Amino acid sequence: MPKPSTRFVCQSCGAVSARWVGRCESCGEWNTLVEEIVAPRPAAKLAAGRSGASARALSFVPLTGESAPAPRTETGIAELDRVLGGGLVPAAAILVGGDPGIGKSTLLLQAAASVARAGRRVLYVTGEESVEQVRLRALRLGLTEAPVELAAAIDLGEIAPALEKSGAALVVIDSIQTMWLEAVESAPGTVNQVRASGFELTRLAKSTGFSLVLVGHMTKDGAIAGPRVLEHMVDAVLTFEGDRGHQFRILRAVKNRFGATDEIGVFEMTDRGLAEVANPSAIFLAERRGNVAGSAVFAGIEGTRPVLLEVQALLAPGGGGAPRRAVVGWDGGRLAMLLAVLEARAGLTLAGADVYLNIAGGLRIAEPAADLAVAAAVVSAATSVPTAADMVYFGEIGLSGEVRQVAQAEARLKEAGKLGFTAATLPRRLARGARPLSAPEGLSLTGIGHVSDLVGSFRKPDGRSR
């Protein structure tokens, strides 16, 4: 029998190395390599299987055929159901990632209770907390009478048989980093254990038919470390984000075999758990103060839903040397590009100023359509002229300073109208396109073709920009 060998596995990205190195050559993280034992593999059974009694011929089928849409179990939490693409799918595995303390256990206990109250069997396995701790949370959330069945366990040898014959509709494993398979010779939480227990649990979900939710902790750099090795294995990956200073939490689908991936769910952490936020725009704009230079409202689209957000820019005199660019909630590279375009194509002088950009409310935006709002906030900060308080902005900006069209203009305008905005600045080709835009009544449209028009609109009445 070959003797067990060891290898080194990066706990951040799962890369394997034959020797120990201080810095992972694959993801560049420091001190993430951990030695793991590779169990000797039994000789390949492939050839034997082919002639064995259990051999089954593989049959191929045409691409067309009857297949019913996946049946769904609604969790009863609308924001969660929407991100899932309409509810839980039986036999599907979902990974829910997020920073420790962000509210994953809270959300899943609420979802579990809601599904159980609808008369389905729900099992909640906690490997991190004791039964008492989960009961305390349930008490705080007012869920004690929901018929969720709870167990504190980490050993899959004990958990798997219980799940197999349970007939449960939903199984929550909180968290996958605490699960332990005896056959794998490494500690819970290591890539090997996470991968093996994740595989075992998803296999069980497929064969038994329950919806499986795996909770996974995520590291600072935004990637689900450890559990990241599960991403290809599960049917959906949801991340729960937000910072603890804000009460908002955003649930986002980053992978979904049964729905769209750009959908978000918005929640608010209250003292009685997570409350759904049905109208995020109103909340994100709630603390906006009118008539302040450096602020602009972006009419964005998150998934299928329009969301209005405040973009804030602050310019401070640079201390010589390379100016600072600090960004929260947007892409730093994109800001650098926009600043260069504003300087080169519209003659805005930043004179080496430090630029700080923030998306208020803690949301992260990725849409290029935010360019125009960011530019407006920066120009407003640079000229000390506030944007009109009732104006929203959207449009993409190209390298030559042209303002380009973006999708779903009408949905953006409609949301702006709903929230009482009366003006919108948007790409000229949308405002004066061949097909007239249907804008809500009372909303005036200003079409902009080039960033120099934007900078021009911030000039003070005396004609000087500062």
Enter the tokens of residue 10. 């990066």
Q: By C-alpha distance, which of 98, 138, 95, 81 is closest to 244? A: 98
In the complex, the smallest distance separating the C-beta of residue 235 from ligand TYD, rounded to whole angstroms, is 21
Enter the tokens of residue 62. 């045409």
Among Mg ion, ligand TYD, none, what does residue 137 contact (CB within 5–8 Å per kind)?
ligand TYD
The helix (H) or strand (E) run that includes residue 379 is helix 371-383
**C-alpha gyration radius of the chain:** 26
In the complex, the smallest distance separating the C-beta of residue 96 from Mg ion, rounded to whole angstroms, is 10
- Which one among 33, 89, 92, 102 touches ligand TYD, defined by CB under 6 A? 102
150 binds ligand TYD (CB under 6 A): no
In the complex, the smallest distance separating the C-beta of residue 174 from ligand TYD, rounded to whole angstroms, is 7
Q: By C-alpha distance, which of 58, 82, 22 is closest to 278? A: 82
101 binds ligand TYD (CB under 6 A): yes
User: Who's near 240: CB < 8 A, 6+ residues apart?
Assistant: 96, 97, 98, 102, 103, 104, 107, 249, 250, 251, 252
- Which one among 121, 137, 364, 429 touches ligand TYD, defined by CB under 6 A? 137
Contact between 450 and 401 (Cβ < 8 Å): yes
CA distance 385 to 401: 21
DSSP type of residue 450 = B
- Residue 280 sits at φ, ψ, to 5 deg, of -60, -35
Question: Looking at beta carbons only, is 11 or 105 nearer to Mg ion?
Answer: 105
Name the one residue in this structure whose structure tokens are 């935004």. Answer: 222
Contact between 447 and 429 (Cβ < 8 Å): yes
Contact between 402 and 424 (Cβ < 8 Å): no
105 binds ligand TYD (CB under 6 A): yes
- Which one among 11, 12, 73, 105 touches Mg ion, defined by CB under 5 A? 105
The interface region with ligand TYD, picked from 42-50, 137-145, 335-343, 348-356 by CB under 6 A, is 137-145
# of chain residues touching ligand TYD (CB under 6 A): 15
In the complex, the smallest distance separating the C-beta of residue 224 from ligand TYD, rounded to whole angstroms, is 13
Question: Looking at beta carbons only, is 152 or 328 nearer to Mg ion?
Answer: 152
Which alpha helices (H) appear in 165-259, and where do they start and end? 191-208
Q: By C-alpha distance, which of 67, 86, 128 is closest to 265? A: 86
Among Mg ion, ligand TYD, none, what does residue 102 contact (CB within 5–8 Å per kind)?
ligand TYD
Question: Looking at beta carbons only, is 103 or 447 nearer to ligand TYD?
Answer: 103
Question: Looking at beta carbons only, is 138 or 285 nearer to ligand TYD?
Answer: 138
Contact between 137 and 148 (Cβ < 8 Å): no
Task: Map the footprint of ligand TYD across residues 232-291, applying CB under 6 A.
Answer: 269, 271-273
Contact between 221 and 240 (Cβ < 8 Å): no
Question: Looking at beta carbons only, is 105 or 380 nearer to ligand TYD?
Answer: 105
337 binds ligand TYD (CB under 6 A): no
Enter the tokens of residue 173. 């494993």
218 binds ligand TYD (CB under 6 A): no
Question: Looking at beta carbons only, is 100 or 347 nearer to ligand TYD?
Answer: 100
100 binds ligand TYD (CB under 6 A): yes
Among ligand TYD, Mg ion, none, what does residue 212 contact (CB within 5–8 Å per kind)?
none
Which residues bind to ligand TYD, rule: CB under 6 A? 98, 100-106, 137, 140-141, 269, 271-273
